[in-house]
Amino acid sequence: MAKQFGLSNDSVVVVIGSGAGGGTLSNELAQQGIDVVCLEAGPRLEMSDIVNDFNEMFTKLSWLDKRVGSGALDPDLPLWVCKTVGGTTVHWAGAALRFQEHEWKARTTYGDIDGANLLDWPIEAREMERFYSLAEDKMGVTGRHGIPHLPGNNNYQVMELGAKRLGYTQVHTGNMAINSQARDGRPACQQIGFCMMGCAIGAKWSTMYTEIPKAEATGHFELRPESMVLKINHNAAGQVTGVVYADKDGNLHEQKARIVAVAGNSVETPRLLLNSESSQFPDGLANSSGQAGKNYMRHTTGAVYGIMPGPVHLDRGTQMAGIIMDESRHDPKRGFAAGYELETLPGFGLAGVATFMSPGGWGREYAQDLEMYRNTACMWIVGEDLPQEANGVTLHPTEKDQYGLAVPVVHFEDHANDIAMRNHAFKAGRAVYEAVGANKVYERMPFSSTHNLGTCRMSEKPEDGVCDSTGRAHDVPNLYISDGSQFTSGGAENPTLTIVALAIRQAETIAERMRKGES
Ligand SMILES: Cc1cc2nc3c(=O)[nH]c(=O)nc-3n(C[C@H](O)[C@H](O)[C@H](O)COP(=O)(O)OP(=O)(O)OC[C@H]3O[C@@H](n4cnc5c(N)ncnc54)[C@H](O)[C@@H]3O)c2cc1C
Ligand code: SF4
């Protein structure tokens, strides 16, 4: 029988969210004998709920509560993230890359760039090496620690050939948190090609079926699905004391806590802090800097589609196992700071390509291009975007959600550096496909944001950010930020490996502090 903790038990660590950050932190703490209650807004699915159907899984997994996008974002679906046990690690594609050394020191490396709110991480690259290794081992990342790479699908082979003809050298099937051989009680990838719908056999790492059941097995962990946290409470001393949440029937409860860790992804985390304002914290909990909700980053993305002379069948095989890393370096001679990766991307079926390849596309020529679906290849750009104060999350002045909470408004505009980088990446992607004889190339602006970062960032000085180098809020000693919101800068790499590495590191710190009797 699963462990249950009382609502008045104030010795537990409450973790909000069960995704990459929250699921990992929960398990790491529970493994050290620390009692954890994890409150997750979404339902708990079984493996049998995962089916190889994009539309059905999108509806089952995605966070579809009202959010308003502004600026360059989709007004109705600014973000593509999950509301389910396992969080967005159920949807994710598994690309698990380390930051490059210089990316930990963005301000120092890139200098003072007009309009950018750049800052160095208060962490040294060398310190992260151990935590990256632990995270890679936990997640079974290919190409690391002797784990073989995945085979390349056709979409990759087209990209690889084009890249090599252009002289790129760092081209391979990526570092993927997908089993290339049976490992950790989970099977090897069967190349089914539905990674981003949830992997039905569990070859892809997801906290849903790795961290969460492992935490439960310790007897120190309770998961409460369909529990949406509405507010974090605190006492007169400015320490958090517990959280108020709504259960699946809308009944409110207060769970007491010794420590609260927030890992709701980069919109819900600052939204919860802002909604937890009080007379003592009038601008929101842990927000004396005014930085909660600001500096939102989503990576400079975009897609390049190539219509090739022969069949590609781009949806077959592991979806994102393919990368060109040569452009990820910082090389200001290209006309912008920082760098980007090029990664294989599936088409999400003919309907997906019809929707995404050229939104609003029409007429005979476009229809003919869609007829060439089986010949289509596709790649995705992932580049470092620059933090800007004006990009971020605020509370809607009037509109409320089903819990009576102010709806989040997410605003994002590209920085000039982001635009220059994307244009460079479009050209590079086009050149790759043209090098293998593409008949036509489409360039596609970003979709709803899948990488969401920076809205409660780490900073050396309290006035520059929300949390310190351990993720502990500068203003509140027993409150932690435990997800991608902590990111001081985004790097050119897909972020989840870094989120997991930081969660492992944070668990060590929390355990050590608890052992010493600190909060
Ligand atoms: C299609 C897709 C593909 C992706 N592919 C990759 C990839 O290949 N590589 C990579 O690195 N990243 C990828 N990502 C991004 C990756 O999934 C995220 O970076 C990562 O999951 C974020 O971790 P997190 O802990 O910040 O949040 P999440 O994993 O989103 O977890 C947050 C959890 O908190 C819950 N929650 C939120 N608010 C509350 C509340 N108030 N109360 C209770 N619970 C709450 C949510 O329901 C959710 O379960 C992809 C994302 C998508 C959508
Ligand atoms: S290709 Fe591999 S990781 Fe992706 S869904 Fe299939 S088995 Fe899972």
DSSP string, 3-64: ----TT-TTSEEEE--SHHHHHHHHHHHHTT--EEEE-SSPPPPGGG--S-HHHHHHHHB--
The pLDDT confidence band at residue 352, using thresholds 50, 70 and 90, is: confident
Structure tokens at 414: 């590209």
Q: Which of 29, 476, 32 is nearest to 241 (CA)?
A: 476
Whether residue 228 is predicted with pLDDT greater than 90 in this model: the reply is: yes
The pLDDT confidence band at residue 300, using thresholds 50, 70 and 90, is: very high
CB-CB neighbours of 316 under 10 Å: 14
Q: How far is the CA of 81 from the centre of ligand 1 (A)?
A: 6
Torsion on CA atoms 493, 496, 499, 500, rounded to nearest 10: -130
For residue 358, what pLDDT is reported?
A: 85
Q: Which of 33-37, 40-44, 190-194, 294-298 has the lowest mean pLDDT?
A: 190-194
Output the residue whose Cα is nearest ligand 2's atom 7.
189
Which residue type, as a one-letter code, is found at position 121?
W
**Does 87 contact ligand 1 (Cβ within 6 A)?**
yes
> Ligand 1 pocket: which of 39, 74, 88 to mutate (most atoms <8 Å of CB)?
88
Question: What is the phi-psi region of residue 144: left when phi exceeds 0, alpha when psi lies from -120 to 50, beta otherwise?
Answer: beta
What element of type H or E holds 440? strand 440-444
Output the residue whose Cα is nearest ligand 1's atom 3.
92
Position in ligand 1 atom list of the atom nearest CA 176: 8
Output the residue whose Cα is nearest ligand 1's atom 35.
17
**Does 88 contact ligand 1 (Cβ within 6 A)?**
yes
Rounded (10°) angle between helices 349-356 and 363-371 = 150
Q: Quick one: what percent of the chain has pLDDT higher than 90?
A: 93
Whether residue 436 is predicted with pLDDT greater than 60 in this model: the reply is: yes
The pLDDT confidence band at residue 182, using thresholds 50, 70 and 90, is: very high
| Mean pLDDT in residue range 211-238 | 98
| Mean pLDDT in residue range 466-476 | 98
Q: Collapsing DSSP states into helix, strand and coil, what is residue 300?
A: strand
Residues 214 and 178: their CA atoms lie apart, in Å, by 18
Of the two residues 350 and 90, the one the predictor is more confident about is 90
Average pLDDT, the chain: 96
Residues 167 and 512: their CA atoms lie apart, in Å, by 49
Structure tokens at 14: 């409450």
For residue 353, what pLDDT is reported?
A: 85
Handedness of CA 256, 262, 265, 271 (dihedral sign): positive
**Does 272 contact ligand 1 (Cβ within 6 A)?**
yes
For residue 350, what pLDDT is reported?
A: 85
Whether residue 282 is predicted with pLDDT greater than 80 in this model: the reply is: yes
Residues 354 and 464: their CA atoms lie apart, in Å, by 44
Matching residue, tokens 């979806």: 319
Ligand number nearest CA of 248 is 1
The pLDDT confidence band at residue 256, using thresholds 50, 70 and 90, is: very high
Residues 472 and 466: their CA atoms lie apart, in Å, by 8
The pLDDT confidence band at residue 1, using thresholds 50, 70 and 90, is: low
* pLDDT 10s digits, 50-105: 999 888 999 999 999 999 999 999 999 999 999 999 999 999 999 999 999 999 99
Position in ligand 2 atom list of the atom nearest CA 178: 3
CB-CB neighbours of 313 under 10 Å: 16
Which residue type, as a one-letter code, is found at position 73?
L
Position in ligand 1 atom list of the atom nearest CA 263: 25
Domain 13-70+81-515: CATH superfamily, name plus number: FAD/NAD(P)-binding domain (3.50.50.60)
Residues 203 and 185: their CA atoms lie apart, in Å, by 10
Whether residue 249 is predicted with pLDDT greater than 90 in this model: the reply is: yes
Residues 341 and 164: their CA atoms lie apart, in Å, by 15
**Does 265 contact ligand 1 (Cβ within 6 A)?**
yes
> Within 166-251, where are the H helices?
211-217
Which residue type, as a one-letter code, is found at position 443?
E
CB 22, CB 268: distance < 8 Å:
no
> Ligand 2 pocket: which of 192, 206, 348 to mutate (most atoms <8 Å of CB)?
192
**Does 499 contact ligand 1 (Cβ within 6 A)?**
yes
